[in-house]
Amino acid sequence: MSQRSCLSVILAAGEGTRMKSAQPKVLHQIAGLPMVAHVVKAAEAAGASGLALVIGHGADEMRKAAAKFAPKAETFEQEKRLGTAHAVIAARAAISRGYDDVLVMFGDTPLIDADALTVARRRLAEGAAVVVIGFRPPNPAGYGRLIERGGKLTAIREEKDCSEEEKKIGFCNAGMMAVAGAHALKLLDAVGNENAKGEYYLTDIVEIASAQNLDVVATEASFESALGINNRAELAQAEAIWQQRRRHDAMLSGVTLIAPETVFFSHDTEIGADTIVEPNVWFGPGVRIASGAKIHAFSHVEGATIASNCDVGPFARLRPGADLRNKAKVGNFCEVKQAVIEDGAKVNHLTYIGDARVGAGANIGAGTITCNYDGYSKFFTDIGEGAFIGSNSSLVAPVTIGNGGYIASGSVITESVPDDALAFGRARQKTIPGKGKELRERFASAAAAKKKAAGADH
């Protein structure tokens, strides 16, 4: 197997009208990644060295997206939609390069298991010319049935053409195939369009290959792996299945999920053993968490790096560029963006830290804000090791707080503070005896007068 070359032809030209979206169907996301990108990943995991994306609706948008998730893939445009075999033939230039195996896949089956593809390729290596991937849905109604005799697949029968006996068959066509490269173009070119719709159906190659005494077999994938997405409800179903798989894998790898069904991962989330995740936590793309961290309830983490033994939340938001070092703490109702929180530093509550460095062992008091944006440009705040920032302080960037610096609570700091210095940045308090009572009486009188005047108007 390892010596066999493989091309994956992924059909992604459909409009997906049932999605009710201007966006191409296969670009709708599962776990933060376009569903077609999940198919690409499965193909690569099964050993595909070549990728051909057959696109149509939203071709320019598809090319732009593919440049990110499949930069080495070739794109081929199917200008007219004349059936699945016609779509595969659009990638003729790639198929003709002489790959040993050709996988035909669909961009709207994001849960396909690489193992199912590997099994199909293995059957090609054993001598089959065509391998059809089948599955057993809970209710086979509406699916084409796989007709087998003597261990060989002889036909794919659409339900409307099935006999009553054939309708009892639970083994159905998932649509995906593996075809020996030596036969692929010959079989595809033999497909005709003598049918009610005048289209070229990929399924016809089963009978064509059988008529040429070529071996045609079926392999089986799970129902979930073969699930196709046609509307938003099915998209949500696929998301739920993907999340369930990922949670299961995380827990088996040593991660504690206290309420697994409430934790949501992204396609690339990395999370180390002995990490504890409390309920209602969402991980967006680009999150890396080392071992022993604790993520408290209702936290939102995206594009962040969290080192060993960090403590995050509850109700914390880590935005892209947040970098928490060993034993750092970001507490409740705190937001960190594009900032390093060094070893043992604490950002405990009600705080925004953006475009900044918080030095090792520093303590950031409640309500502290790094004022990093002037409406046009971003500026950096550097907080030294062991610094103490008093509650309700505003640090107006660009500004540096030296190692061991101490900022008095309620300060607005606009100038850098040297190491071990104390800085105040607030107006001097003034107290006027009796003035509070006077103000209350004045305000009460004014409110009563306003109420009386309003009543007179009626």
Would you put residue 298 in left (φ > 0), alpha (ψ -120 to 50) or beta?
left
Distance CA 254, CA 241 (A): 21
Residues near 191 by beta carbon (within 8 Å), at least 6 away in sequence = 85, 200, 201, 202, 204, 205, 208
Give the end of a domain, one of 220, 255, 282: 220
Q: Please, is 255 exposed, middle or buried when counting C-beta atoms within 10 Å of its C-beta (0-12, 13-18, 19+)? A: buried
Give 75-82 contacts, CB < 8 A, sequence gap 24+.
76/52, 77/13, 78/13, 78/54, 81/13, 81/14, 81/56, 82/193, 82/198, 82/199, 82/200
Distance CA 112, CA 241 (A): 12
Packing angle between helix 114-125 and helix 35-45, nearest 10 degrees? 40
Of 36, 45, 92, 95, nearest to 63 (Cα)? 36
Task: Indicate whether 125 and 77 sit together in one domain.
Answer: yes
Residue 455, domain member (yes or no): no
Task: Indicate whether 98 and 201 sit together in one domain.
Answer: yes
pLDDT of residue 150: 85
Q: Please, is 416 exposed, middle or buried when counting C-beta atoms within 10 Å of its C-beta (0-12, 13-18, 19+)? A: middle
- Active-site residue, selected from the candidate residues 248, 267, 349, 458: 349
- Token pair in block for residue 195: 């049918």
Q: Tell me which residue range forms the domain holding 379.
A: 232-423
Task: Indicate whether 83 and 173 sit together in one domain.
Answer: yes
Q: b/e map of 172-197 (b: 16 or more CB within 10 Å)?
A: bbbbbbbbbbebbbebbeebeeeeee
Residues near 315 by beta carbon (within 8 Å), at least 6 away in sequence = 296, 297, 298, 299, 332, 333
Distance CA 334, CA 92 (A): 55
**CATH code for the domain in which residue 304 is found:** 2.160.10.10
Asked if 36 contacts 56 with a C-beta cutoff of 8 angstroms, the reply is no
Please tell me the pTM assigned to this model: 0.89
Distance CA 89, CA 191 (A): 10
Q: Token pair 């003709």 is at which residue?
A: 96
Strands 300-301 and 381-383: unpaired
Task: Indicate whether 93 and 214 sit together in one domain.
Answer: yes
Catalytic residue check, 300: no
Task: Indicate whether 174 and 243 sit together in one domain.
Answer: no
- Which pLDDT tens digits describe the chain residue by residue (458 residues)? 568 999 999 999 987 789 999 899 999 999 999 999 999 999 999 999 999 999 998 899 999 999 999 999 999 999 888 899 999 999 999 999 999 999 999 999 999 999 999 999 999 999 999 999 999 999 988 889 999 988 889 889 888 888 888 899 999 999 999 999 999 999 999 999 888 788 899 999 999 999 999 999 999 999 999 999 999 999 999 999 999 999 999 999 999 999 999 999 999 999 999 999 999 999 999 999 999 999 999 999 999 999 999 999 999 999 999 999 999 999 999 999 999 999 999 999 999 999 999 999 999 999 999 999 999 999 999 999 999 999 999 999 999 999 999 999 999 999 999 999 999 998 888 889 999 899 999 999 999 999 888 877 76
Residue 191, domain member (yes or no): yes
Distance CA 111, CA 244 (A): 12
Residue 458, domain member (yes or no): no
Residue 438, domain member (yes or no): no
Residues near 204 by beta carbon (within 8 Å), at least 6 away in sequence = 85, 191, 192
CA 136 to chain centroid, in Å, comes to 28
- Token pair in block for residue 405: 């610096």
- Token pair in block for residue 116: 């199912």
**CATH code for the domain in which residue 99 is found:** 3.90.550.10
Task: Indicate whether 53 and 113 sit together in one domain.
Answer: yes
Task: Indicate whether 323 and 266 sit together in one domain.
Answer: yes
Please give the DSSP secondary-structure letter assigned to residue 288. E
Task: Indicate whether 182 and 81 sit together in one domain.
Answer: yes
pLDDT of residue 458: 64
Residue 431, domain member (yes or no): no
Q: What angle do CA 320, 323, 326 make, to 5 degrees?
A: 155
pLDDT of residue 196: 78
Give the end of a domain, one of 165, 185, 220: 220
Backbone angles phi, psi at 282, to 5 degrees: -120, 125
Residue 208, domain member (yes or no): yes
Backbone angles phi, psi at 9, to 5 degrees: -100, 115
Distance CA 395, CA 353 (A): 10
Q: Token pair 């007219």 is at which residue?
A: 80
* Positive/negative CA dihedral, 166, 169, 174, 176: negative
Task: Indicate whether 149 and 269 sit together in one domain.
Answer: no
Count of domains forming the chain = 2
Task: Indicate whether 263 and 323 sit together in one domain.
Answer: yes
Task: Indicate whether 265 and 305 sit together in one domain.
Answer: yes
pLDDT of residue 428: 84
Alpha helices by DSSP H, listed for 223-268, are 232-252
Residue 330: beta bridge partners?
312, 347
Residue 407, domain member (yes or no): yes
Distance CA 457, CA 421 (A): 62
Residues near 40 by beta carbon (within 8 Å), at least 6 away in sequence = 8, 10, 51, 69, 70, 73
Task: Indicate whether 383 and 351 sit together in one domain.
Answer: yes
Residue 454, domain member (yes or no): no
Asked if 58 contacts 36 with a C-beta cutoff of 8 angstroms, the reply is no
